[in-house]
Amino acid sequence: MARDLKYTRNIGIAAHIDAGKTTTTERILFYTGRNHKMGETHEGSSTMDWMEQEAERGITIQSAATTCKWQFPTDQGKPVPGSHEYHFNIIDTPGHVDFTVEVNRSLRVLDGLVFLFSAVDGVEPQSETNWRLADNYKVPRMGFVNKMDRQGSDFLKVCQQIKDMLGSNAVPVVLPIGEEADFKGVVDLIKNRAIVWHDENYGSTFDVVEIPDSMKDDVKKFRSQLIEEVAAYDENLLEKYMEDEDSITEDEIHTALRAATLDMSIIPMFCGSSFKNKGVQFMIDGVCRYLPSPLDKEAIDGTDPDTEEPISRKPSVDEPFSALAFKIATDPFVGRLAFFRTYSGHLDAGSYVLNTRSGNKERISRIFQMHSNKQEPVEYIEAGDIGAAVGFKDIKTGDTLCSEKAPIVLESMKFPDPVIGIAVEPKTKADMDKMGIALAKLSEEDPTFQVRTDEASGQTIISGMGELHLDIIVDRMRREFKVEVNQGQPQVEYKEAFTVNANHREVYKKQTGGRGKFADIVFEIGPAEEGKIGLEFVSEIKGGNVPKEYIPSIEKGFKAAMKNGPLAGYEMDAMKVVLKDGSFHPVDSDQLSFELAAKLGYKEAARAAKAVILEPIMKLEVLTPEENMGDVVGDLNRRRGTVTGMDDRAGSKVVKAFVPLSEMFGYVTALRTLTSGRATSTMEFDHYEPAPNNIAEEVIAKAKGTTV
């Protein structure tokens, strides 16, 4: 595996649901010689969708990693002198919003991204979400407009949408030859030549042909635009461009376009039809040409766990070992499998690493390169590579693994909170223990899936990102862990928050003969500052009115109390407490007394701090025929929705709205009924906002087991 990192590409394939990510990945595996047979998603035979649920539903649920090799540059499908073997680590991610966590954690560890768009549907809601995630992690990307063979396909329109809707500079580097069913090839605007793929051998070979006369004007126009964009980015080329546009060479265009792509100033746009085997190899060449290698990021930043000082690691084998665990999976044969990205150094199978979160040494018994759900053992792994390992006793998503002699903490990952929950119970007594083990393993794998016990009813509540997410979890419990469960109706995961500051004094006194309990605290409680999460705790105690050793207990009490909101027991995400004064008893006061005083004070101050119930608000997009638009909007208004915009797309109307999640159960069925099955919708969580009084009263009454 020792190889030049310059020829390594760690890339992801991301897009809205159904844009053709898995089909494209299958083609890459076929053309690179990794697979000798093409798998098809619609037949349930694709390599990357290996779960039974994925094959049945035709969707990707878990991100799957694979490796393959590609010779570049080539001409007519054959390597040219001086070509190199490129090593790809590819992660195929899900498109469905309920599994955004898979995209999130993959983007954290990837160097580049191939972003797919459907040539018919263009920029869709999940495209926007994933694009924003890629912006957050600063991942350079290129676009591939797929499904060019479909009716209504329009490559240039999609490029324009990326500019308008995603605010990114999408620049075509190819133009399609033929439209819809007649799509047969592309014009390479840089080489100024036309490529037409052969149908008979899965598009593995192609002919270079004359540019069709009908396209010459367009080719000239878009080639000129491409050179203009590149020259505007690179000052050296700008002078050349001013003197004579044609004097800029192919190599100069490639070099400047690569630099602009890494800088995210330009998104090179390719097109093709993965299903019809056209355009994929040209896109793979683009990955080699424009997307970054691990060396393009000079160093990864982290902190020293002992001193909190910033430190960094270069992508080199000579640096100390550092890696980030980005996914935990349970494999029936090898047990707990941790996927990790190595940023620096060298790790042999059988050696020890330090987990900086737990502070424990862990022995890596075996290291694998992954090919979907198959593991291929390797003896070691080095900087810039993605692999998986077994042997961990305690590991979580986002943990840093590093050399014991040179510890470092890499930035972890942030995941959204679950918004929907269902109660589950085992069908038989025998399933009781098995259910506990299954839920523990599944929540370890997926940070957006949480399990808790409802204090009032004693029920086990599982929470996730949507109804499909929880469906899949229950299905996996049945198939993988052989646990049969009964499930309740979906419930919304509300939250609670304070809206104003309130001052309060809490005196906790207990006398039971002998030593008693005593604590007295004066504090101000209220909402946290905008954007802050968790407890913001400030102590203004002067002169030892409350001894120093009791202050952490007070903070601990408030922190624990936040898990159980004062109104209906829902969690509170953020609040601020300022400890102002207090008193203690030299004999009766202890740490527990002050912790209990904080918990009681939190509940007592809630009314004065005007606690409110927050409900999750979903961002909804409905694609509907024009004649049904009035009914769709009317229905959304009845569901307390706020329509934010209306657009046209592919001959239909697009309605965008914000709607409370509590009103959206069973919406897909209702929408089908309203529009005779002609409309489709996509929904994702957006934000929390205070629930109206009548809804809040119902939620509180339900939590207390009373009726309004």
Give the per-residue SS3 of 395-414: CCCCCEEECCCCCCEECCCC
Q: Which residue has the higher pLDDT, 688 or 128?
A: 688
Which long-range contacts link 318-321 to residues 24+ away (Cβ below 8 Å)? 319/344, 319/345, 319/383, 320/344, 320/345, 320/402, 320/403, 320/405, 320/406, 320/408, 321/345, 321/346, 321/347, 321/353, 321/401, 321/402, 321/403
**Which pLDDT score is estimated for 589?**
83
Kindly report the pTM of this predicted structure.
Answer: 0.74
C-beta separation of 184 from 178 below 8 A: yes
**Which pLDDT score is estimated for 650?**
67
Angle at 102 between CA 375 and CA 564, to 5 degrees: 125
CB within 8 Å of 638: residues ≥ 6 apart:
none
pLDDT bin (cut points 50, 70, 90) of residue 443 is: confident
Three-class secondary structure of residue 534 per DSSP: strand
Tens digit of each residue's pLDDT (9 = 90 or more) over 223-263: 999 989 998 998 888 888 787 777 788 888 999 999 999 99
Three-class secondary structure of residue 278 per DSSP: strand
Q: What is the CA radius of gyration of the chain?
A: 29
Tens digit of each residue's pLDDT (9 = 90 or more) over 583-618: 888 888 888 899 999 999 998 988 888 999 999 999
Report the alpha-carbon distance of residue 664 to residue 481 in Å, rounded: 31
Nearest to 59 by CA among 95, 101, 26: 95
Q: Are strands 450-453 and 460-464 parallel, antiparallel or unpaired?
A: antiparallel
* Weakest mean pLDDT among 44-53, 270-279, 514-523: 44-53
Place of tokens 């999408």: 170
Instruction: Work out the mean pLDDT of the chain and round it to a whole number.
Output: 85
Q: Which residues of 85-114 are buried (b: 16+ CB within 10 A; e: fewer)?
A: ebbbbbbbbbbbbbbbbbbbbbbbbbbbbb
Report the alpha-carbon distance of residue 183 to residue 274 in Å, rounded: 12
**Which pLDDT score is estimated for 35?**
60
pLDDT bin (cut points 50, 70, 90) of residue 307 is: confident
Residue 112 has pLDDT above 70, yes or no: yes
Residue 3 has pLDDT above 70, yes or no: no
Tens digit of each residue's pLDDT (9 = 90 or more) over 313-363: 999 999 999 999 888 887 767 778 888 999 999 999 889 999 998 889 999
In the chain the domains, ranked by start, together with CATH numbers, are 5-295 (3.40.50.300), 300-410 (2.40.30.10), 425-493 (3.30.70.870), 496-609 (3.30.230.10), 614-702 (3.30.70.240)
Q: Is 409 exposed, middle or buried (0-12, 13-18, 19+ CB in 10 A)?
A: middle
What is the mean predicted confidence (pLDDT) over 121-149?
Answer: 87
C-beta separation of 623 from 677 below 8 A: no
**Which pLDDT score is estimated for 209?**
87
Place of tokens 């982290």: 302
Place of tokens 């941790």: 338
Residue 2 has pLDDT above 60, yes or no: no
Structure tokens given for 363:
């022995």
**Which parts of 169-240 are beta strand (E)?**
170-172, 174-177, 185-188, 193-197, 206-209
Print the SS3 string covering 123-154: CCHHHHHHHHHHHHCCCCEEEEEECCCCCCCC
Residue 175 has pLDDT above 80, yes or no: yes
Report the alpha-carbon distance of residue 642 to residue 660 in Å, rounded: 9
Report the alpha-carbon distance of residue 71 to residue 197 in Å, rounded: 19
Handedness of CA 687, 693, 695, 701 (dihedral sign): positive
Structure tokens given for 625:
């025929």
Residue 47 has pLDDT above 70, yes or no: no
Q: Are strands 420-426 and 386-390 parallel, antiparallel or unpaired?
A: unpaired
Report the alpha-carbon distance of residue 563 to residue 571 in Å, rounded: 5
Angle at 528 between CA 522 and CA 533, to 5 degrees: 125
Instruction: DSSP letter for 180, please.
Output: G
Report the alpha-carbon distance of residue 596 to residue 547 in Å, rounded: 16
Residue 76 has pLDDT above 70, yes or no: no
Residue 46 has pLDDT above 60, yes or no: no
What is the mean predicted confidence (pLDDT) over 488-511?
Answer: 88
Peptide bond connecting 332 to the previous residue in cis, omega within 30 degrees of 0 = no
**Which pLDDT score is estimated for 393?**
85
* Weakest mean pLDDT among 31-45, 172-186, 212-226: 31-45
Edge-first strand listing for the sheet containing 352-355: 360-363, 352-355, 400-402, 322-331, 335-344, 386-390, 366-371, 374-378
What is the mean predicted confidence (pLDDT) over 514-536?
Answer: 86
pLDDT bin (cut points 50, 70, 90) of residue 61 is: low
In sequence order, the β-bridge partners of residue 618 are 659, 685
Report the alpha-carbon distance of residue 409 to residue 528 in Å, rounded: 27
pLDDT bin (cut points 50, 70, 90) of residue 642 is: very high
Between the alpha carbon of residue 484 and those of residues 424, 426, 427, 473, 479, the distances in Å are 10, 6, 6, 12, 9
Structure tokens given for 51:
């779960």
Between the alpha carbon of residue 309 and those of residues 242, 249, 259, 606, the distances in Å are 48, 46, 31, 39
C-beta separation of 399 from 355 below 8 A: yes
**Which pLDDT score is estimated for 372?**
63
Tens digit of each residue's pLDDT (9 = 90 or more) over 450-466: 898 877 677 888 988 88
C-beta separation of 488 from 558 below 8 A: no
Residue 707 has pLDDT above 60, yes or no: no
Nearest to 521 by CA among 606, 611, 589, 609: 589
**Which parts of 45-151 are beta strand (E)?**
64-75, 78-92, 112-118, 141-146
Percent of the chain exceeding pLDDT 70 equals 92
pLDDT bin (cut points 50, 70, 90) of residue 660 is: very high
